[in-house]
Chains A and B, each alone.
Chain A
Amino acid sequence: MPYALDITDLEKSYGESRVLGPINLHLTPGTITAIIGRSGCGKTTLLRCLGGLETPTSGGIKVGDGNVRQRDIGYVFQEPRLMPWLSVAKNTAFGLKGIKRQARDEAVAEALKLVGLTEAAGLLPKQLSGGMAQRVALARALAPRPALILLDEPFSALDPFTREQMQDHLLHLHGYYGATMVMITHDMDEALALAQRVIVLNGAPGKVIGDFTPDLPRPAARTSMAFFNWKRRITEVLSDRPAHRLSA
């Protein structure tokens, strides 16, 4: 059962310096939400607060009914962060605990199949390409079947071709699991191709300056006029100036 996510008056400060907020958001269960914004606007800080890696200075985050265990949240970092001493299969099983071996093996096999890495189960991280390693990181986040998956620019370090492949994988996985996903990205195309909702964060401290629900089919055809128009609308908000001047 995917979780809803309620963020209320969330603020984060480091010392005297407020870097984020106040943020108020309600995310619908089972949707993909992209959070987009310039560097330094607090996107990653927001995601880290949602994932329990940072404690908000004030405000609240309610995941699901508010009684969620950490293991019900999957987190995909910008880099794969695989344990170099564990095989692909063991890295995938890393977050699985308190379940029988057979169930664990099945969960690992299923997660690896979904990311297309069944054959690589026995390899060590040092034997993987960047794209493969990031797919293992995705499989590791998926294996416990979390109801909420947080993704922090998961494909930013990949080449454009692999990135598009990974985006297709993500959509496929979302169709299969139906988890609520929140993804940080710099890439407008990625946000529009994957997400049902695009939230634009900007400023210092970072605040929501735009909230869009593009009515595009998924996967969205990136060359369509509708896609281009949405991209222009979001760019306009993000750049704080009319789009016609950008293209001029």
Chain B
Amino acid sequence: MPAFLLALWQGLAGAGLLPAAVLPSPALVLATLIAMAQSGEMAQAIGATASRLAWGFVLGATTGTVLGGLCGASPLARRMLDPLVQSLRSVPSLAWVPLFILWLGIFEASKITLVAVGVFFPVYLNLLGGIANVDRKLLEVGQVHGFSRLRRLLRIQLPAALPAYVLGLRGGLGLGWMFVAAAELLGAANGLGFILDDGEQTGRPERVLAALLLFGICGKLTDTIMAALGRHLVAWQDTARA
């Protein structure tokens, strides 16, 4: 199906039915990609975006893990912190941008923080839910063996929460890509989001499409890696493979 659509797209563009200023041909997009690769612009842009994503992911995932773990393990911490976190979650993430720019400036720190906000919530929610909603029947096994709360957390709740946590990390990474694109569109001197913005400003849709394609490929690649790592970590799960 993708090959058919690509051929149709190329055919329509070749026949002059699609204005190049609106939707350039796949061949032109490919040529743009090759030129970007040869000039080093592609590597530089992917490097810049990936670096922001990586830092934001580490920051968001770490904070989400610590707070999610704390609120999952301690009902007291959950009562004190979770309502606040949930209310912050209802703020549209992009609405933080002005505050981040005011606090952190327009350079890297505000972009990384925005990505971290995107990554934080899925990680936090999944880990908290995973720990707090562990099957009572498994907890009772710890109880009949006289486990302390700490031992119960380490031996039962955390391992049982691992599938939900992995899902949260994967979801967080997906949102991280979304937020890094938004952060770069709002003002960056490099990165894939900058190419998107530059393509729009200079009226070169082939650059916009090339950047979109690179976002798609990079996002899919990191998701595949994360999914493979996740499968390895929770290989014990008795799940149906579709």
A124 sits at the interface (CB 8 A): yes
Interface bits A53-87 vs B (CB < 8 Å: 1, else 0) = 10000000000000001110111010101011110
> Which residues of B, 100-153, contact A by the 8 Å Cβ criterion?
137-138, 140-141, 143-146, 151
A40 sits at the interface (CB 8 A): no
B interface residue count range (under 10 / 10 to 19 / 20 to 34 / 35 or more):
10 to 19
Number of residue pairs A-B, CB distance < 8 angstroms: 53
> Given A77-B137, A79-B137, A94-B155: A84 and B144 within 8 A (CB)?
no
Provide the residues of chain B in CB contact with A122, threshold 8 Å: none
> Which residues of B, 144-195, contact A by the 8 Å Cβ criterion?
144-146, 151, 155-156, 159-160, 162
**Which secondary structure characterizes the binding site on chain A?**
loop
Q: A126 vs B141: C-alpha distance in the bound complex, in angstroms?
A: 18
- Docked-complex contact A85 and B236, CB < 8 angstroms: yes
- Docked-complex contact B238 and A84, CB < 8 angstroms: yes
- Docked-complex contact B146 and A70, CB < 8 angstroms: yes
Q: How far is the CB of A169 from chain B (nearest CB, A)?
A: 20
Provide the residues of chain A in CB contact with B236, threshold 8 Å: 84-86, 124-126
Provide the residues of chain B in CB contact with A85, threshold 8 Å: 159-160, 162, 234, 236
- Docked-complex contact A83 and B156, CB < 8 angstroms: yes
The listed residue with most B CB atoms (<10 A of its CB), out of A73, A75, A84, is A84
A51 sits at the interface (CB 8 A): yes
- Docked-complex contact A126 and B143, CB < 8 angstroms: no
- Docked-complex contact B145 and A71, CB < 8 angstroms: yes
Provide the residues of chain B in CB contact with A116, threshold 8 Å: none
Q: How far is the CB of A212 from chain B (nearest CB, A)?
A: 28
A52 sits at the interface (CB 8 A): yes
- Docked-complex contact B137 and A95, CB < 8 angstroms: no
> Given A69-B146, A71-B145, A94-B155: A81 and B238 within 8 A (CB)?
no
> Given A84-B237, A126-B236: A75 and B144 within 8 A (CB)?
yes
Query: In this complex, what residue of B is CB-closest to A70?
Result: B146
Provide the residues of chain A in CB contact with B160, threshold 8 Å: 83, 85
> Given A83-B138, A83-B156: A52 and B238 within 8 A (CB)?
no
The listed residue with most A CB atoms (<10 A of its CB), out of B137, B138, B146, B162, is B146
> Given A70-B146, A85-B162: A94 and B141 within 8 A (CB)?
yes
Query: In this complex, what residue of B is CB-closest to A95?
Result: B145
Query: In this complex, what residue of B is CB-closest to A96?
Result: B145
Provide the residues of chain A in CB contact with B238, threshold 8 Å: 84, 125-126
Provide the residues of chain A in CB contact with B162, threshold 8 Å: 85
> Which residues of A, 131-148, contact B by the 8 Å Cβ criterion?
144
> Given A70-B146, A124-B236, A126-B238: A83 and B159 within 8 A (CB)?
yes
- Select B137's contact among A81, A86, A125, A144, beta carbons within 8 Å: A81
The listed residue with most A CB atoms (<10 A of its CB), out of B140, B141, B234, is B141
Provide the residues of chain B in CB contact with A70, threshold 8 Å: 143-146
Q: A52 vs B141: C-alpha distance in the bound complex, in angstroms?
A: 11
Query: In this complex, what residue of A is CB-closest to B151?
Result: A97
Q: A70 vs B143: C-alpha distance in the bound complex, in angstroms?
A: 8
Query: In this complex, what residue of B is CB-closest to A78?
Result: B137
Q: How far is the CB of B58 from chain A (nearest CB, A)?
A: 25
Provide the residues of chain B in CB contact with A79, threshold 8 Å: 137
Q: A51 vs B234: C-alpha distance in the bound complex, in angstroms?
A: 32
Residues of chain A whose beta carbon lies under 8 Å from any beta carbon of chain B: 51-53, 69-71, 73-75, 77, 79, 81, 83-86, 94-95, 97, 124-126, 144
In the assembled complex, 27 residue pairs joining A and B whose CB atoms fall closer than 8 Å, in A order, are A51-B144, A52-B144, A53-B140, A53-B143, A69-B146, A70-B143, A71-B145, A73-B144, A74-B144, A77-B137, A77-B141, A81-B137, A83-B141, A83-B156, A83-B160, A84-B236, A84-B238, A85-B160, A85-B162, A85-B236, A94-B141, A94-B145, A94-B155, A97-B151, A125-B238, A126-B236, A126-B237
